[in-house]
């Protein structure tokens, strides 16, 4: 279909001609222009998807796209892409139906011929071996849906722009093998030139930002823990527990109006722990999440809106296991893979980061904040980013 369309467009570009205008003089002051009726000699292709392009060949089309109207099965096209006296190129409109193509140039309308609309491919589900967006090279991804062409040769699958091997095909299911060294990006299926995004795929071995693969609820807007109770929310909530984060009992220093239980972790769309301003002092408060990382060297970066630790101790840390160690156990602890010690009072927006390395094939780690805060000690964080180096 592509080759036929390219040949047709080439013909259009080579075609020469000008619009012939005929006029007759009604009187000495008024002239009325009569435009010749367009003549159609052919069109191509005669079938395709919505948003594909159709070339109409013939004569007396003029050279002004605003004078041209085309409809497919009665549905007008939004985009007449080009027009010269011998060729009109138009985009098949969304919602087009099987039926006649009608061409109108100025006041003249002609029937071009019948056009068949192919059902657009639709992806209903993308299934990975991990059950997530994480896909390693060599893994098979199953894409389910409808309209995947009439033969395996109709289909191309791309992982982050890199062409993959199609292991099996049917009109409703495609199984594709992730190529080597594909970059994190979109998984796209191309059916007879029509592209559909099936979903996002993340190569855990590709260098760069891997936050989406291994972190949860890691940047603004932060999600609130849906399991918060009325006893925690109170009658006028302003502080929340963040979804997918652990906030230990020590760190829960703030109480909403009308609540009977204290909470912490999220306030004004910032990750927050605090002592003072109505919040109690605490020791070994922890705000963290757990994940499993493959072998490699990483960088953890946190954007801080503000913090103050004049008489407090605050760490950002990564440690092997399912929980961060206490404050006194961070600096000299084999389980701690890396940390950053905050210093200073009333610090405004800043970026903090550190690098760490994991040598096992996979390691469960806890990452986040551990602190002992006294009034007025606090921090507000807006985003975490994890990079594979």
Residue with tokens 């159609």: 40
- Nearest 10 degrees: CA dihedral of 323, 324, 328, 331? 130
pLDDT score of 130: 87
pTM of this structure: 0.61
Q: How far is CA 315 from CA 308, 332, 338, 341, 349, in A?
A: 12, 13, 10, 5, 17
- In DSSP terms, which residues pair with 364 in a beta bridge? 292
* CB 214 within 8 Å of CB 206: no
d(Cα 108, Cα 58) in Å, to the nearest integer? Answer: 14
Give the residue range(s) of CATH 2.60.40.10 domains in the chain. Answer: 2-117, 122-203
pLDDT score of 370: 98
pLDDT score of 32: 62
Strand order in the sheet with 155-159: 162-163, 155-159, 185-191, 194-201
d(Cα 76, Cα 95) in Å, to the nearest integer? Answer: 9
CA 91 vs. chain centroid, Å, equals: 26
d(Cα 167, Cα 157) in Å, to the nearest integer? Answer: 11
* Helix and strand numbers, DSSP H then E, in the chain: 3, 29
pLDDT score of 117: 93
* CB 15 within 8 Å of CB 63: no
d(Cα 255, Cα 43) in Å, to the nearest integer? Answer: 72
So what's the architecture of 122-203 in CATH?
A: Sandwich (2.60)
pLDDT score of 16: 32
Q: How far is CA 229 from CA 224, 233, 234, 235, 241, in A?
A: 12, 6, 8, 11, 10
Residue 12 pLDDT > 90: no
Q: How far is CA 194 from CA 1, 36, 118, 166, 285, in A?
A: 12, 37, 11, 17, 53
d(Cα 255, Cα 274) in Å, to the nearest integer? Answer: 12
Q: What is the mean pLDDT of residues 328-348?
A: 93
pLDDT band, residue 307 (cuts 50/70/90): very high
pLDDT score of 252: 98
Give the residue range(s) of CATH 2.60.120.260 domains in the chain. Answer: 230-388
pLDDT in tens, 153-162: 999 999 999 9
CATH of range 2-117; options 1.20.210.10, 2.60.40.10, 3.40.50.300, 3.90.1140.10:
2.60.40.10
d(Cα 154, Cα 148) in Å, to the nearest integer? Answer: 8
pLDDT band, residue 30 (cuts 50/70/90): low
pLDDT score of 89: 97
- How many C-beta neighbours within 10 Å does residue 353 have? 14
At the topology level, CATH places domain 230-388 in Jelly Rolls (2.60.120)
In our burial notation (b when 16+ CB lie closer than 10 A, e otherwise), range 118-157 reads: beebebeebebeeeebbbebeebbbbbbebbbeeeebbbb
Q: What is the mean pLDDT of residues 133-154?
A: 94
């Amino acid at each position: 279909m592509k080759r036929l369309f390219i040949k047709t467009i080439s013909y259009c570009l080579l075609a020469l001609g000008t619009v012939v205008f005929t006029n007759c003089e009604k009187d000495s002051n008024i002239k009325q222009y009569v435009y010749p009726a367009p003549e159609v000699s052919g069109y191509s292709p005669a079938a395709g998807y919505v948003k594909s392009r159709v070339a109409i060949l013939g004569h007396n089309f003029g050279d002004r796209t605003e004078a041209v109207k085309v409809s497919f099965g009665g549905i007008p096209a939004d985009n007449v892409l080009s027009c010269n006296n011998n060729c009109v190129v138009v985009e098949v409109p969304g919602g087009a139906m099987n039926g006649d193509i009608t061409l109108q140039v100025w006041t003249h309308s002609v029937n071009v011929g019948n056009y068949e609309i192919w059902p657009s491919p639709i992806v209903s589900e993308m299934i990975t071996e991990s059950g997530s967006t994480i896909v390693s090279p060599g893994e098979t991804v199953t894409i389910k849906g409808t309209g995947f062409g009439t033969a395996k040769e109709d289909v191309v699958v791309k992982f982050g722009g890199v062409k993959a091997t199609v292991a099996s095909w049917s009109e409703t299911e495609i199984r594709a093998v992730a190529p080597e060294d594909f970059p994190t990006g979109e998984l796209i299926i191309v059916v007879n030139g029509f592209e559909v995004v099936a979903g996002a795929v993340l190569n855990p071995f590709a260098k760069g930002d891997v936050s989406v693969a291994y972190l949860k609820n890691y940047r603004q807007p932060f999600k609130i823990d849906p399991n918060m109770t009325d006893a925690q929310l109170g009658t006028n909530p302003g502080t929340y527990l963040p979804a997918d984060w652990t906030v230990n009992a020590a760190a829960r220093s703030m109480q909403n109006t009308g609540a009977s239980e204290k909470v912490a972790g999220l306030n004004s769309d910032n990750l927050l722990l605090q002592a003072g301003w109505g919040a109690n002092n605490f020791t070994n408060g922890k705000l963290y999440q757990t994940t499993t990382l493959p072998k490699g060297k990483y960088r953890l970066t946190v954007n801080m809106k503000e913090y103050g630790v004049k008489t407090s101790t605050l760490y950002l840390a990564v440690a092997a296991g399912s929980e961060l160690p206490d404050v006194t156990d961070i600096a000299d602890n084999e389980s701690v893979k890396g940390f950053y010690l905050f210093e200073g009072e009333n610090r405004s927006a800043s970026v903090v980061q550190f690098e760490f390395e994991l040598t096992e094939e996979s390691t469960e780690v806890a990452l986040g904040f551990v602190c002992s805060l006294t009034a007025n000690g606090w921090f507000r964080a807006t985003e975490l980013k994890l990079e594979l180096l």
